[in-house]
Amino acid sequence: MSAGVGRLVDALGPEAVFLHEPRAVEGAKLEATLRPQSGEALAEMLRVLGEEALPVLLRGGGSRLATANVPCRARVLLETGGLDFAPEIDAEEGVARCAAGGRLAALGAALAGSGFELPLDPPGRDATLGGALAAAAAGPRFAQPRDAVLGLGVVLASGERIRCGGRVVKNVTGYDLAKLFVGSFGTLGVIEWAWLRLVPAPEETRVCVAPFGLDPEEDASALAAARRPSVRAAALADAALLGDAAPGDAPRWLVIELAGDAAAVAADAEALAREHGALPAEAGALERARGAQGAGPLRIRIAARPTRPPAAALRLREAGGEVLAHPARGLAWARFALEGPADERGVDRALAAATRAVSDAGGARRLEEAPVAAREGREVFGGATASLALERAVKRQYDPAGLLNPGRFVGGL
Amino acid sequence: MHSARSAARSEGSARAESPRPGLLAALREIVGAGGLLARPEDLLVYEADGLTVHGAKPAAVVLPRDKTEVVRVVRACRAHGAPFVPRGAGTGLSGGAIALDDGVVIECSRMNRMLRIDPENRVAVVEPGVVNADLSQAVAQHGLFYAPDPSSQMACTLGGNVAENSGGPHTLKYGTTTQHVLALELVLPDGALVRIGSATGFPAGSDLVGAVVGGEGTLGIVTEITVRLSPVPEHAETLLGIFPDVVSACRAVGAVIAAGLVPAALEIVDRRTIAAVEASVYAAGLPTDAGAVLLVELDGPAVAVARQVERVRALALAAGAREVAIARDAAERARFWRARKGAFGAMGRLAPDLYVHDAVVPRSRLPEILERVCEIGDRYGLRLSNVFHAGDGNLHPNISFDRRDADELRRVVAAGEEILKVCVEAGGVISGEHGIGTEKRAYLSMVFSDADLGAMCRLRAAFDPDGVCNPGKIFPTTRFCMEANPKARGYERVELG
C-alpha cells in the first residue's frame, strides 16, 4: 500500500476504502476502490483524494469504460453505482430527479405506468445514468443526452458539491453548465444526480424492417424513410448484424421504430410498406440491430452529416467491418473482428479505413471500443480538435490537478 | 429626466473625450469612419437595450463587416484596456447588450450573410447579424424552418439569440436555441479565433457550444453560427379556448401535458391583457369578460393533428372552457395569435414604459403563482398583466409604468423582486428566456449557492480570464469572476428607496 493510499484509509476509514493488489484497468495501476453511497461521501472522498494527489478512474456501469483514451494515470477506482436513490418522478410536469448511480433499466422500469419514458437508451445493460450522461452515450431513439438534462448535481474535483440548471423545462438563469458535464467523460466533475425531462410514452409503437442493397445510391431512400414524421429510431444494419431477425436475404435492412400518434404511425407504416417494401417486425429487431453499437471487440463510430455516411459505410465494409448506421442522425458504427487483443494489424487496417471514410465524408471518427493495447498511443476521440486549447483551459479551471479520469479524454486531458 | 439613466447620460455628455486616448483612432483604422460611432448623439440608442430602466453609455460603437475585423477590434480594445460587448439588434430584455465601464459595443448587424444553406443535411451556416425570421424565410423554399422564434424574431439577430439562448412560443415542442446550434466560430477575449462544436452535432470533445449558448456574450464574440434546420410540419391547427378564469385555463394546460400531447405552443393571456389588447389596434375580437384565453397550436402529420385537435378541445371543455374555437383559415389563425403577440404593444400604449418580466415555475404551480403575482402587483399599485408560455411554465408578468415617476419605478423594481422570490420558492428559476444581464444579477443568489456561482465563474475564467468581455453581467457581485474593472462604472442599480 502506498503512503498516499494509507492516508486515504486514515482519512476515510478502513470501511470506506477497498484495498487490493495493484490491478491494471484501462492502463491505470489501481491500488484501491471507493464506492461512495451518497453525495456527501463522494465530496469528502474527492477532497481527500485531492489532498493526497491520488487521481481516480471513474466507473459507472462499466459499459463505456473502453470508450476513452489510455493509459489512465489514476491510482484509485471510484465507482459511482452506489450513488442511488429512488427516482423522484413528477408525472404532472414530465420531469424526474434521478441518481447518477441508477441503472437505466431500473429507471425505465420505475417510470412504467407514469405515462412518460426515459429519454435515454444507450446500449449496455448495466449502464448507469451518470455514466450515460458523462459519455453522452447515444441510443437509436435518443442521440443527444444533452437534450434530456434540465439540471445536474455535480461534485467538482475540489470536493465542492454544486448544482446547475434546475427542474423546470426552460431556464437561462446563469450559464448552462450542465452542458459542460454531459459528454466530458467525468473529466470536469462527477455527476451525482440529474433532473431529466421525460418524453411522453407513445400512444402506439410499431417496428418494421425494409430490405436494402449495399449500393450507396440506395441510402438516399433510407434517409427519406428515416425522416418520416413518426420515426423514432431508424437503423440501417448489415444483414450479419441482424442474424435470424432478418426476414429475408437482403444484404442490409432498415429497422424502423415508429412511435407516437396511432393514426400517424399507421400512415407511416403504410407508406413504408408501399415505398420501401417494409414488413412488420418484432420489437426485438431494433435491439438486434444495436449489436454493432454494443459489442466489441473493435468498434468505430463515424459522425458525419446525414447525407454522408453511405460512402463512409462502403469504406468500412471494404475493410471487413459490419456496419450499422442511423441515417437521419449521420451516425455509423462499424464492428470489426480482431485476432486477439494484440492484433495491431487488424486495428490499423480498421482505423485506416475509418480515416479514409472520414476524409471522404467529412465529420469525425471515434474508437468506441477496443482492447487497451489497441488504444495505447492512439487518440480514441479522433483527430486533433480545433478547440483543444480551450478544452485545456476548461480542464485547468475545473480540475487543475488532473484528479478526475486523467489521460482519458480528448487530447489526453 | 429618467432617474436611472440620467446619471450615466450626464456623465457621458460631460466627458469631452474617451478616457482611453488612441482607442477611437485605432478602431477607425480597422472599421473605417463609416463603421465607427462615437458622437454622443450617435451613441444615445446604444445606452440601453429592450430593458430601458438600465443604461450605460459606451465609449464607442463599432460595426465590423467580417470576422477579421472583429479579431482586430478585440485586439485593439485589449491594447487600450477597453472592455467590449457584442450586440445584435438590441432587443434583449435584461441589459445584456449595454457596455459598462466605458466599453466598446461591437455591433454585429453588418455581418449578416447567410454563408451556406444545405437543405439535404438540414443545416445552415450564418453570420451573427442575420435576422432570425430572415433565416426561416430563406429556407422555406426547401420546406424547412429555423425553429426558435422569440417574439422579437422580425428584428432580433441569431448572434443575440445564441448569447441569450432565446426561446419563443414554440419552444415547448421544438426546444430553445441551444437545441438548434451545432457549431460556432468565435473570437475569444484574447483575440484568438476558434471553432467549437461540429456540424454533425457530435463534437469530439466537451460540449463547448452548449456552454457558450446562453453565455450572454461574456465568453467571446460569435462570428459564425451553424444551425440545425427543421422540416416544416405537414399540417398545423390553432385553437383558441375562452376560459372563465386563469385557474381553469392552467388546468387545461396540465391536462394536455398529462395526456402526453406535445403542442407546438400553449399560451395563456389573462383578463387584464385581453382588456388591453381589445382596447388597442391589436384587437382580436376576444370577449372582454373572459378570465383567460388559451392559445394552442398543434402541428405534425395531418392525420395526427386532426385527432389531437379533438382531444385538446375535449380536455379544454372538461377543464371549464366556455368555448373552444378552431381557426378556419390563415386569417383567423393570425387573429388568434394577435391576442398573444399584440400583448406587448397593447400594454405598451398604456404607459410610457413596459417592464417585461420573465421567470419559470413548474407548470402545475402556475395557477397559485399567478394569483400571487397579481396580488403583488395590486399591492404595489401597479398595472400588471400576464401573458405566458404556459406549457413551459414560463411567466411574463408585464408592468406598464412611467420611469420618470421615481416612486412608481421603485415599486416596479420591488414588485419584480418579490415576484422572483415567489417563483424560486415554488421550485422555479428567475429567467426562462431573457437572461440575467444587469437586470437580475443581484438576484442570482436566490437560485444558486456561492459554490454554484463559483463553478460558473470557472467557465468564465477559462474563456475570459481577465473579465473584459461584457463585464458586469450575470454575476451578483464582483467577488465573482475576477473582472478587470470591477467598478462597473456607468451603470446604476435602480435605487430601491
pLDDT in tens, A29-78: 999 999 999 999 999 999 999 999 999 999 999 988 889 999 899 999 99
The nearest CA of chain B is from the CA of A382 a distance in Å of 7
Q: How far is the C-alpha of B388 from the C-alpha of B394, rounded, in Å?
A: 6
The residue that leads in pLDDT, B18 or B72, is B72
User: Which CATH number does the domain housing residue A312 bear?
Assistant: 3.30.70
Detail the DSSP E strand segments found in B8-88.
Answer: 36-37, 60-62, 84-87
Please state, in angstroms and rounded to a whole number, the distance separating the CA atoms of residues B346 and B78. Answer: 44
Q: Hunting for cell 465607427 — which residue is that? A: B36
pLDDT of residue B341: 82
Q: Which amino acid is at B128?
A: P
Q: Considering the domain boundaries, does residue A334 fall inside one?
A: yes
What is the pLDDT, as a whole number, of residue A307?
Answer: 85
Q: Evaluate whether A160 touches A370 at the Cβ level (below 8 Å).
A: no
Cα–chain center distance at B11: 29
Which residues of B are less than 8 Å from A329 in CB distance?
201
- Which tens digits make up the pLDDT trace of B300-344? 999 999 999 999 999 999 999 999 999 999 999 999 998 888 888
Residue B175, C-beta contacts closer than 8 angstroms, at least 6 positions apart: A147, B147, B148
DSSP three-state, residue B258: helix
Cell representation of residue A5: 493510499
Q: Are residues B32 and B136 in the same domain?
A: no
Report which DSSP code applies to A16: T
Q: Per the domain annotation, does B348 fall within a domain?
A: yes
Q: Is B490 left (phi over 0), alpha (psi -120 to 50) or beta?
A: left
- Regarding whether B411 and B271 lie in a shared domain, the answer is yes
HSE-CB at A301 with a 13 A cutoff on CA atoms is 25
Residue B76 lies in a domain: yes
Number of domains in chain B: 3
Specify the number of domains making up chain A: 4
Q: A401: which 3 cell numbers?
A: 490537478
For residue range B34-60, list pLDDT tens digits in order: 999 999 999 999 999 998 888 899 999
- Cα gap B278→B212, rounded to integer Å: 41
What domain range is B299 assigned to? 235-425
Report pLDDT for B494: 36
The reported pLDDT for the residue numbered A292 is: 61
Q: Which cell is A351 given?
A: 482505423
- Model pLDDT for residues B355-392, shown as the tens digit of each residue: 999 999 999 899 999 999 999 999 999 999 999 999 99
- Do A55 and A402 form a contact (C-beta atoms < 8 A)? yes
Q: Are residues B267 and B285 in the same domain?
A: yes
Give me the interface pTM, i.e. the ipTM.
0.96
Residues of chain A with pLDDT under 70: 291-295, 383-384
Question: How many C-beta atoms surround the C-beta of residue A401 within 10 A?
Answer: 13
Whether residue B109 has pLDDT greater than 50: yes
Flag if A170 and B433 touch (Cβ within 8 Å): yes
Asked whether residue B80 is domain-assigned, the answer is yes
- Mark yes or no for CB contact A173/B213 under 8 Å: no
Of the residues B395, B425, B455, the one at which a domain ends: B425
Please list the residues that pair with B267 across neighbouring strands: B295, B389
* Residue B150: cis peptide before it, omega within 30 degrees of 0: no
Q: B356, B398 in Cβ contact below 8 A?
A: yes
Which candidate in A152, A175, A188, A300 is best for mutational testing of the B interface (most B CBs within 10 A)?
Answer: A175
Nearest CA in chain A to B420: A173
- Domain boundary (B179, B200, B231) is at B231
Chain B residue with minimum CA distance to A224: B120
* Residues in a beta bridge with B269: B293, B387
Do A216 and A123 share a structural domain? no
CATH number at residue A196: 3.30.465.10
Residue A388 lies in a domain: no
The model's pLDDT over B227-278, given as tens digits with 9 standing for 90+, comes to 999 999 999 999 999 999 999 999 999 999 988 899 999 999 999 999 999 9
Q: With respect to residue B161, please indicate whether it lies within any of the assigned structural domains.
A: yes
Q: Taking a contact as any Cβ pair under 8 Å apart, which residues of chain A between 321 and 340 contact chain B?
A: 329-331
Q: What's the whole-model pTM score?
A: 0.94
**Residue B173's domain is classified under what CATH number?**
3.30.465.10
B139 and B41 share a domain? Answer: no
CA B401 to chain centroid, in Å, comes to: 20
Contact between B201 and A326 under an 8 Å Cβ cutoff? The reply is: no
Whether residue A112 lies inside any domain: the answer is yes
Whether A394 and A376 have beta carbons less than 8 Å apart is answered as no
Domain's final residue, options A200, A215, A237:
A200
A97 touches chain B (CB under 8 A): no
Range of the domain at A209: 204-289
Looking at A179, A200, A221, the residue that finishes a domain is: A200
B338 with B225, same domain: the answer is: no
Whether B356 contacts B395, CB under 8 Å: no
Dihedral class, residue B489 (left if φ above 0, else alpha if ψ from -120 to 50, else beta): beta
Q: How many whole angstroms separate alpha carbon B38 and alpha carbon B53? A: 22
Are B403 and B3 a contacting pair, CB within 8 Å?
Answer: yes
Is residue B130 located within the same domain as residue B103? no
**Which residues between 127 and 186 in chain A have a beta carbon less than 8 angstroms from any beta carbon of chain B?**
136, 138, 143-144, 146-147, 154, 156, 160-164, 166-180, 182-184
Q: Is residue A40 situated within a structural domain? A: yes
Rounded Cα–Cα distance for residues B497 and B406 (Å): 9
